[in-house]
């Protein structure tokens, strides 16, 4: 009882941290992989780019495509997503490596998060953009805003993904090419997440090593 104020402060602090974490989970969802390609190809006018979400080599460019994959830990449902859109989507460059979709073309998109037995979330994209991460890097960052419909009408969240192209590939080059060229890659866990995973694994390995070592010393 002597330190009840300390206990209260700790509990309030924990509650605040949990609420912050929960709020973050509700507003940003990260995609960790895609089973199909995201394909960028030279647009019809110089400096523009077209994108297909869910392309496969040898399949026709125009029409409905579905990009399937999984979300990172903390996402609603069982973490499996599917994004259907009528492709190609036209992207406009801002001159600094970021290309954005025209919102009108996103109106027919459907973004689902599966719950295993059904749908945990259903919505549509209201904004979509792609940007090259760093000069010389072949990583493209995908950002989207998703607006839920039906029972999720009030839910808006930000979708993040990291697309890896072939070494040397870049969407600026594709957009500004004199001939029609394209680059396609899949969504992979972003480097920061991969680093966190590696750090965690390293920590666990270190713990295991220390436990084995101390057990060995006790035996001696």
Partner 1 sequence: MTFYRSLLGLAAACGLLALGAGAQTTITLTSSGSNLVTFSSTGNGTVDATLGNCSNSQCTLTGGAEGTFNGSAVSGYTINLGQLTPLTNNGGGSFSVSAADLAGSSFDLSGASGTVFSGAFTALNFTDTANDTVAINATVQGSGSSSGTTINIKGSIQLDGANVEAVANSPYPVAVSGGIVPEPTTLLLFGTGLLCLGGLMRRRLGAMADGESV
- Contacts with partner 1 by CB under 8 A lie at 37, 39, 41, 57-60, 164-170, 173-174, 177, 179-186, 188
Q: What is the CA radius of gyration of the chain?
A: 22
Asked if omega into 197 is within 30° of 0 (cis), the reply is no
Give which of 92, 102, 173, 103 is closest to 132, Cα–Cα.
173
- Kindly tell me which of 41 and 157 has the beta carbon lying closer to partner 1: 41
Min dist CB 195 to partner 1, Å, is: 17
- Kindly tell me which of 154 and 179 has the beta carbon lying closer to partner 1: 179
Min dist CB 39 to partner 1, Å, is: 7
With H, G, I as helix, E, B as strand and everything else as coil, classify residue 53: strand
Min dist CB 210 to partner 1, Å, is: 32
Long-range contacts of 116-124 (CB under 8 A, 24+ apart): 116/77, 116/78, 119/77, 120/76, 120/77, 120/78, 121/76, 121/77, 121/148, 121/152, 121/155, 122/148, 122/149, 122/150, 122/152, 123/147, 123/148, 123/149, 123/152, 123/155, 124/149
- Kindly tell me which of 150 and 168 has the beta carbon lying closer to partner 1: 168
- Kindly tell me which of 94 and 180 has the beta carbon lying closer to partner 1: 180
- Kindly tell me which of 115 and 176 has the beta carbon lying closer to partner 1: 176
Min dist CB 183 to partner 1, Å, is: 6
Min dist CB 138 to partner 1, Å, is: 8
């Amino acid at each position: 009882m002597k330190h009840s104020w300390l206990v209260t402060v700790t509990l309030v602090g924990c509650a605040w941290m949990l609420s912050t974490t929960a709020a973050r989970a509700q507003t940003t969802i990260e995609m960790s992989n895609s089973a199909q390609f995201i394909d960028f190809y030279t647009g019809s006018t110089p400096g523009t780019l077209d994108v297909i979400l869910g392309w496969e080599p040898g399949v026709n460019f125009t029409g409905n495509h579905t990009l399937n994959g999984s979300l990172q830990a903390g996402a609603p449902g069982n973490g499996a997503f599917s994004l259907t859109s009528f492709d190609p989507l036209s992207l406009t460059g801002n001159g600094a490596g970021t290309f954005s979709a025209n919102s009108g073309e996103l109106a027919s998109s459907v973004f689902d998060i599966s719950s295993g037995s059904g749908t945990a979330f259903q919505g549509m994209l209201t904004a979509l953009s792609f940007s090259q991460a760093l000069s010389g890097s072949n990583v493209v960052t995908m950002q989207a805003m998703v607006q839920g419909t039906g029972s999720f009408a009030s839910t808006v969240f930000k979708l993040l993904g990291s697309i890896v192209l072939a070494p040397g590939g870049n969407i600026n080059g594709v957009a500004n090419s004199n001939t029609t060229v394209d680059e396609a890659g899949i969504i992979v866990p972003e480097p920061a997440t991969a680093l966190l995973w590696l750090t965690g694994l390293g920590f666990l390995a270190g713990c295991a090593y220390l436990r084995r070592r101390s057990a060995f010393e006790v035996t001696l």
